[in-house]
A and B are shown apart, each in its own frame.
Chain A
Amino acid sequence: MMKKVLALFTTLALAASTFAVEIGKPAPDFTGTDITGKTVKLSDYRGKIVVIESYNSDCPFCHHHYQTGAMQELQRDLTARQVVWLLVDSVNPKNFSYRTPAQARAELAAEKIDVTAWIDDHTGDIGHLYGMKTTPHMFVIAADGTLVYAGAIDDRPSPGGDPRKAKNYVRAAVAELLAGRPVTVARTKPYGCGVHYAN
């Protein structure tokens, strides 16, 4: 078991060194396990637009996007247009905000979260690989596997007010991709709570 974990660590460390997360470059591949126990591999979604969201619903910023229903609305809109949405939860198991797979499944249902998969990343491997700093921290990957957006969900760094009135960078980036245009805002400064990584 320990060996396996070490091996995984090494592979991911190697992956991290060969691919830096950079706009216009291929998004680094990863393999994770979702909260139903299914294996999720990023490269399996090649050919589709992929949105990655770093998630922690106890974080007031994330929570606000869900409490107002704005995030679920965006998820529904995009997944209806064949966009893959991967939610990555990198909270370490010792943290108050950690969710066991069972708790996560309950939260997914209760909050009506509409995503392709909720990946349990409690080791922080995927979070570190992508340099996720905050919750939420958003990434958009084009159908050809190129990273086209990294940064904040919108231009309104606040845990209050109406997120629908903000300029949503993810919605804009996906719309531009679908229209075959280049993404205008490719990088923004992410905001939110720090990701509660292990150590």
Chain B
Amino acid sequence: MRHFLIAVTAGVCLAAGVVHAAHTRVQLFLSAGTVRPGDTIWAGMDLKMDAGWHTYWKNSGVAGLPTKIEWTLPAGVTAGEVLWPLPQVIPPAEVTTYGYENEVMLLVPLVFATNSQPGPVVLKANVSWLECQDQCVPGSTKVEATINVGSDTTRSTDAATIESWRSKVPIAGGSLPFRAAWENPPASDTRPLLLEFSPPANTKLSQITAANFFPDASDNFEIQAATETISNPSAGFVIRKLVKKFSGDWPNAINGVMVIEHDGRRYGYEVSLPVSDQAAAIAGTAVNTAGQTFTIPAAPKPSIIRMLLYAFIGGLILNIMPCVLPVIALKILGFVSEAKSEPGHVRKLGVFYTFGVMTSFAVLGGVVVAVKLAGHQAAWGMQFGNPVFLVALATLVTLVALNLFGVFEVTLASGAMNVASNLSTKSGLSGAFFNGALATALATPCSAPILGSALAFAFTQPVSTLMLIFLTIGLGLASPYLVLSWNPAWLKFVPRPGAWMEKFKIAMGFPMLAAVLWLYNIATATYGKNVLWLGVFLVFMSAAAWTFGNFVQRGRGRKRIAFAVVLILLAGGYGYALEKELNWRHPVIETATSGSLKESAEGIDWQPWSAAAVAQARAAGKTVLVDFTADWCLTCQVNKKTSIEITSVREKIKSLGAVALLADYTHTPDVITAELSRYHRAGVPLVLVYPKNADAPPIVLPEVLTPGIVLNAIAQAAQ
């Protein structure tokens, strides 16, 4: 027997055009099936909101209205105060509210008097709320549940659910050292407030990724939602909040929930803090120098399931990002040649392709873990900042192109020559595996919408979760082929294999050459003008490949001499071009540290990014645009071409006197990795627009931009 009744929700009828149906469903759960007189049980008022809709916390923030529960209880039963699970910060920044999306269970203790009469009692409540999406609708409903008063208190089937929600209620923070102080004497009707805490037990300060304070509601003042984190490695964690006073004196105590994020989770502590007039009471203020830091909106509450879903979808989307396209063409070719073979074999190929992708992702994950363990910052796509990786990949992709052109064959399975097969279209399983590995290697410089948040989450997680998310991305990337290979019947649309395939194969070599060109261009950032020697090496290597294909593989005699020529070409090219001239493993990396990074005469006047440069520009009252980018980041380059380095944005920046800062992540400097992680990103792209008002948080633009997004953000920031 379940102790709740599904409520018949009564949407309040408003003017014509207002949505009548409620988007929130309410159920009343009880933690006990029977209750002994004198005991206390928990009532769980469960509100389920439709996607996109939210209801409010006990302090709804700037707008909104808290959910209200009015009980009608029989004699002998009394309801206590509502316990509110930790809410979310709900945007937009200019009208920030605190509330709940999807679902919340409000918890109420019900006390049964010692003289309660045995038998069933009906507990009734009227619940009213305001639900909002693009518009707001008030709703109210009556719910009831029956419980037996008996000789013992027994757990109900819903007790576990109620307990899981109770664990989301902020705990009393009295034991933790929290402090509050005014930063300045009162000057206007807003005044900065500093909040400081030392990390909870078993947590290091460096593990804390963010903190916030959700205030209780007050008519006399408002603690605004924007939060600045003041980095302070030597003392406690300090945040700055702005308090706006409406009436009366400045408060000498504040109540609310201190929210601390670490290990990818948010922890709430219910606090009541006296506010000191002495900013010096906050240890951190003494060290608050140029590290003037900013308001960072909290990351969405991460749930593993959701992040795994994001990882899978993100991996799937990677397939249509420009990085992976050349490999897709190869896959199509593979399917054409294999479509008519026996289904079992096709399936095996699909599995091996997936296996190749997954293995590569496991390796990537392993590298990330290793880098983190070594005390360095890890980031998505970071291997593209490594010259050794770049040269190796350029070499490999050149070889794939030559192979497609038919310059030489690859015979992985045995020494026997097999003219009909080659590295990438090879019917062999190793070919499919290799294809998967290549797809992964090429995919990493591209981030995709949705993938970004999964990656950012993964990078803050323990090893097992990180690996799980990486593997899920791999599964997403491989899934279209896996599904196709499982149902070869779906491949009926592909044309019959024939002579055209040889031509198509050669044609596919050109996208590969384009990929080489792109890698070559990235290498320019590392090697400067010396990158020429990489080209020289690639020519030597190509000549070696041709000699190998023509005289060793297909030759009729003197194979040994031919093989010697191959070795000489390779050794000469490597020794002279790569080692001597290019010094490829230890290049001298030059990065601009000052002066304009303008791309053309009319281009945006980019200045090199640094935290100090941002602080300086903001202190001067300027709007600041920051582009975190890297030469190898294709998504960044596309954003730049379509939405940043364009006439309308240039003019807007010029007319507003805004400052444009470029944070070059090509060589993955740690200081930028750290900055990216503050905005919950595991890599580039990241574009920020800091409003003119230096107290306001920066606007974080999405991964994929349009001119409208950029222009709107700048216009908004300049107000």
Q: Chain A interface (Cβ within 8 Å of chain B)?
A: 6, 9-10, 12-13, 16-17, 22-23, 57-60, 63, 67, 95-97, 128-129, 133-134, 151, 155, 157-160, 185, 187-199
Contact = CB atoms under 8 A, between A and B. Distances in A.
Contacts of A67: 14-15
A198 to B, nearest CB: 8
B281 interface: no
A13 B136 contact: no
B136 A193 contact: yes
B99 to A, nearest CB: 11
A194 B97 contact: yes
Nearest to A157: B65
Given A60-B12, A133-B95, A196 B656 contact: no
Contact of B65 (A23, A128, A159, A190): A159
8 contacts: A58-B15, A60-B136, A63-B18, A67-B15, A159-B130, A189-B219, A191-B63, A193-B135
B381 interface: no
Interface of B: 12, 14-15, 17-18, 62-65, 92, 94-95, 97, 130, 132, 134-138, 188-189, 218-219, 222, 245-247, 621, 652, 655-656, 692, 712-713, 715-716, 718-719
Given A133-B94, A189-B219, A151 B246 contact: yes
Given A13-B656, A58-B17, A187-B247, A194 B718 contact: no
A194 B63 contact: yes
Contacts of A160: 138
Contacts, number: 101
Contacts of A16: 719
A10 B655 contact: yes
B95 A134 contact: yes
Contacts of B65: 157-159, 191
A159 B68 CA distance: 13
A133 B63 contact: yes
A188 B189 CA distance: 12
B98 to A, nearest CB: 12
Given A151-B246, A191-B63, A194-B62, A12 B719 contact: yes
A188 B63 contact: no
A199 B716 contact: yes
B251 to A, nearest CB: 13
A187 B189 contact: yes
A10 B718 CA distance: 8
Nearest to A187: B246
A58 B189 contact: no
B205 to A, nearest CB: 35
B219 A188 contact: yes
A60 B65 CA distance: 11
Contacts of B135: 58-59, 95-97, 193, 196
A158 B138 CA distance: 10
Contact of A194 (B95, B245, B656, B713): B95
Nearest to B222: A189
A134 B398 CA distance: 60
Contacts of B137: 60
Given A10-B655, A13-B656, A195-B95, A60 B719 contact: no
Contact of A199 (B18, B247, B655, B712): B712
Contacts of B14: 58, 60, 63, 67
Contacts of B18: 58, 63
Given A10-B656, A12-B719, 19 more contacts: A6-B652, A6-B655, A9-B715, A16-B719, A58-B17, A58-B18, A60-B130, A60-B137, A63-B15, A67-B14, A95-B135, A129-B719, A133-B62, A133-B63, A134-B63, A159-B65, A190-B62, A194-B64, A199-B92
A196 B135 CA distance: 8
B532 to A, nearest CB: 45
Contacts of B63: 133-134, 191-194
A118 B130 CA distance: 27
B138 A60 contact: yes
Contacts of A188: 219, 246-247
